[in-house]
Amino acid sequence: MDTVDNGRLPTCGGFELRSTLENIIFTESRGQKMAIQKLKPNLSAGPDKLPPLLFKRLKDNLARPLCLIFMQLLSVGCVSED
Taking only the tens place, the pLDDT of each residue in 25-67 is 777 777 666 677 778 878 888 888 988 888 888 888 888 888 8
Q: Say if residues 66 and 31 touch (Cβ distance below 8 Å).
A: yes
The pLDDT of residue 10? 76
This model's pTM is above 0.85: no
First to last CA, the chain: 27
List the chain domain ranges. Answer: 28-76
What sign does the dihedral 15-18-23-26 (CA atoms) show?
negative
The pLDDT of residue 32? 65
What sign does the dihedral 5-6-8-12 (CA atoms) show?
negative
Residue from 31, 38, 24, 41 nearest 61 by CA: 31
- pLDDT band (50, 70, 90) for residue 79: low
The pLDDT of residue 41? 75
State the DSSP code for 13: T
